[in-house]
Amino acid sequence: MMAEKTGWKPIPLLLKIVFGLSLLWVVGTFFAIQQRFELGVPLFGVFVYGILAVVIVFLIDILGPISFLYAMWNRKSWGPRVAFIYMGFFIINSLVAFVTTPDQLGGPAILVPAVVDVILLLVIYNKRSYFN
């Protein structure tokens, strides 16, 4: 039995778009870590600052996407599950922030990334057979 091909070439087009957006998200997050440290991040309606904010950003905005990118590149079956966990957390947290802190962050700044994540999750769900 031959192993499934891995790498960039066999990834379906829609997942390549998800890959690119996820990679851009990770890179952008690295540039925003200092800002998150100082300005904080919302965590279920409460703003957290300093090192705790950096840890949250690292886990949700860096480690989650990098794990998913690794899984996509290597066709790991656990890839969609990782995406559902970290993106689901992000979406739920965004909805709570939209209700509790819209004045501090601005509605569009909260909702647009959440809506994009919902769309990306739909793509991942529809292309989940790639990971098997």
User: Do the domain assignments include residue 120?
Assistant: yes
- The mean per-residue pLDDT over the stretch 49-58 comes to 96
pLDDT tens-digit profile of 23-35? 999 999 999 999 9
User: Do the domain assignments include residue 89?
Assistant: yes
User: Do the domain assignments include residue 40?
Assistant: no
User: Do the domain assignments include residue 37?
Assistant: no
The model's pTM is: 0.89
User: Do the domain assignments include residue 47?
Assistant: no
User: Do the domain assignments include residue 82?
Assistant: yes
pLDDT tens-digit profile of 71-113? 999 999 999 999 999 999 999 999 999 998 877 777 788 899 9
Q: How many domains does the chain have?
A: 1
3-state SS string over the chain? CCCCCCCCCCCCHHHHHHHHHHHHHHHHHHHHHHHHHHHCEEECCEEECHHHHHHHHHHHHHHHHHHHHHHHHHCCCCHHHHHHHHHHHHHHHHHHHHHHCHHHHCHHHHHHHHHHHHHHHHHHHHCHHHHC
User: Do the domain assignments include residue 99?
Assistant: yes
Q: Could you list the residue range(s) of the whole structural domain that residue 115 is in?
A: 18-32+59-131
User: Do the domain assignments include residue 11?
Assistant: no
